[in-house]
Structure 1
Amino acid sequence: MILFVRDLTVIDFSYLCAKRGMLGESYIVDVELDGKLDDISMVLDFSLVKKQIKQAIDQLLDHKLAVPTLADGLSLTLAQQQQLLKFDSARGQINMAAPTEAVALIETATINIDSITSFLQHHIMQLMPANVAKLTITLRPEPISGFYYHYSHGLKKHDGNCQRIAHGHRSTIQIFTDGMLSLRLNKYWSERWEDIYLGTAEDLCQASELKFINPATDTDICFAYQAQQGWFELTMPASHCEIIATDTTVECLAEYIVAELEKIDPSKAYKVVAYEGVGKGAIAQSA
């Protein structure tokens, strides 16, 4: 007997890629449980599927940085309950120090749907009752017919896991000019923020202020902040970043895009529909 749950949850996270550097991702999660009926004639109660498996996924990967531990160019160190990493990519070197719970260490050379799926299935299957013989997790990106970008960021003021300095999303963007969808502007912003790290200006610091890591070059951008979950540091190649004067919540990002558009042509009325992952986001419009 197979029990299934479609659209169980959405995972939002970032990961390290040898070619693309750090990028945000969002996957919709479907689950199937293959097993015998238990004493209440179920494979597993739907409420437990939704609660236990979603909770496990959140703890294992959601709002974390997924790190391929077998990748070339990766160095990992533990120091004072901090996970320190150095990663060489084609876009430059990335360095991060963060509490261990902000990182998902995955035994693979490459982070992709297959390696993430195997990681989740291995750990979550151990939580299943004896009557469940097989767990199948299916990850799938949201089908997007328009334009989108992958971005990573950190929100130090957030009470939950969004405060982690390197988590992200794959997000749709829709920009309207004078009430009409602008393909040109949507294309421009999806390319401008392709695999971007969006940093907050007040989180910038000098290399000398970092406690655990060092930038690879003098032009790398350094970030550091204290949040409820602990101390976070990050260095990124300058070409991998865009700095925002405000926080990088989706509300602020939508307003930022409108403001940037108005600088170029203030005579037009703009509407920006910015998504944060799947099915949620913010709308900002010209005043």
Structure 2
Amino acid sequence: MKLFVKDLTVIDSSVLDYSRGIIGQSWLVDIVLHGDLNEQSMILDFGIVKKLIKSTVDELVDHKLIVPAHAKFCDVMSDGAFTYVDAWREHGESIHLACPDQAFALIPTEQITLASLETYLTEQLMLRLPNNVKQLDVKLREEKIDGAEYCYSHGLRKHLGNCQRIAHGHRSTIEILRNDERDSALELSWAERWKDIYLAEHCDMVSGSELSLSRAGMAALTPEHYCFKYQAPQGEFQLAIGKSIVEIMPTETTVENIAQYIADTLAKDCSDALTVFAYEGVGKGAIASA
């Protein structure tokens, strides 16, 4: 017997990648449970399925930086309170983080792929399911986007939930209306501008000397790194990242501010009425006009 749930939850995270850097991602989660009927003539009650699996997925990978812990291009070290990650990228712009342990999902693989994540989640979830569940299929899939999309990563210092983690992200679509008509050229130009971007608030910038990264991370800092540091409810978060993949915003990088930032930036070169629908992952976002 099989039980399935589609669109069980959405994972909004970022992935550490040798070529692309830090990639904001959003995945829909589908599951199929194989097993025997229990005393209630069920494999598992849907209420338990949704609560148990969603909470476990959230705990394991949601709103985290997903790190291929066995990859040759990155080094991971933990002292019990903080985890230090150093990534030596293909094109020479290294990335360095020092964050509370819960900011990272350390996956025992050489590369983060859908297959490696599905395997990891399946193994971890099976440990928490009742014995009558004999097999679990976890399927991750991207939202189908017809049009422009971008992947951004960020952290929200003032957020009381997991958005405070300095390197989590989203794969998002964007809609831009010019005089109430969709303008695909503007959408595509913005998507290209923010392909694999890290969005940061200006006031979180610090000098390299104010960071306390790993020894290798501190030694690798150059003038081509932007450095960020902030204190949030979950602890202190630090990041050094190449300037070429960063855009500095004057405000905190909430989706409301992102929508207004895009609208105001476009309005500098356009006298027409503009409306921006900026998405934060799947099916949610903010609207701003200029």
Give the TM-score normalised by the residue count of structure 1: 0.98
**After the TM superposition, which residues 1-287 of structure 1 pair with which residues of structure 2 at under 5 Å, given as runs?**
1-79=1-79, 81-91=81-91, 92-213=93-214, 214=218, 216-265=221-270, 267-286=271-290
Kindly state the Cα deviation for residue 136 of structure 1 after the two structures are TM-superposed.
Answer: 0.6
Q: Deviations along 1:123-152, whole A, 9 cap, x unmatched?
A: 001101000000111100000011100110
State, as a whole percentage, how many aligned pairs show the same letter: 47
Give the TM-score normalised by the residue count of structure 2: 0.97
Corresponding letter in the other structure for 1:278: V
Q: Distance in 1 between matches of 2:148 and 2:130?
A: 42
Tell me which moved more, 214-223 or 158-167.
214-223
Q: Distance in 2 between matches of 1:155 and 1:240?
A: 18
- Structure 1 residue matching 2:16: 3-state secondary structure: strand
Q: Please, which runs of 5 or more residues in structure 1 have no aligned partner?
A: none
Kindly state the Cα deviation for residue 211 of structure 1 after the two structures are TM-superposed.
Answer: 2.0
Q: Distance in 1 between matches of 2:212 and 2:163?
A: 22
Residues 96, 213 of structure 2: 8 Å contact kept? no
Corresponding letter in the other structure for 1:20: R
Residues 178, 273 of structure 2: 8 Å contact kept? yes
Corresponding letter in the other structure for 2:276: V
Q: Deviations along 1:24-65, whole A, 9 cap, x unmatched?
A: 100000111000000010000000000000000000000000
- Structure 1 residue matching 2:223: 3-state secondary structure: coil
**RMSD between aligned alpha carbons?**
0.9
Kindly state the Cα deviation for residue 268 of structure 1 after the two structures are TM-superposed.
Answer: 0.9
- The number of equivalent residue pairs is 285
Q: Distance in 1 between matches of 2:235 and 2:285?
A: 27
Q: Please, which runs of 5 or more residues in structure 2 have no aligned partner?
A: none
Residues 14, 22 of structure 2: 8 Å contact kept? yes
Kindly state the Cα deviation for residue 80 of structure 1 after the two structures are TM-superposed.
Answer: 5.7
Q: Deviations along 1:255-274, whole A, 9 cap, x unmatched?
A: 00011011112x21100000
Tell me which moved more, 193-202 or 213-222.
213-222
Corresponding letter in the other structure for 1:189: W
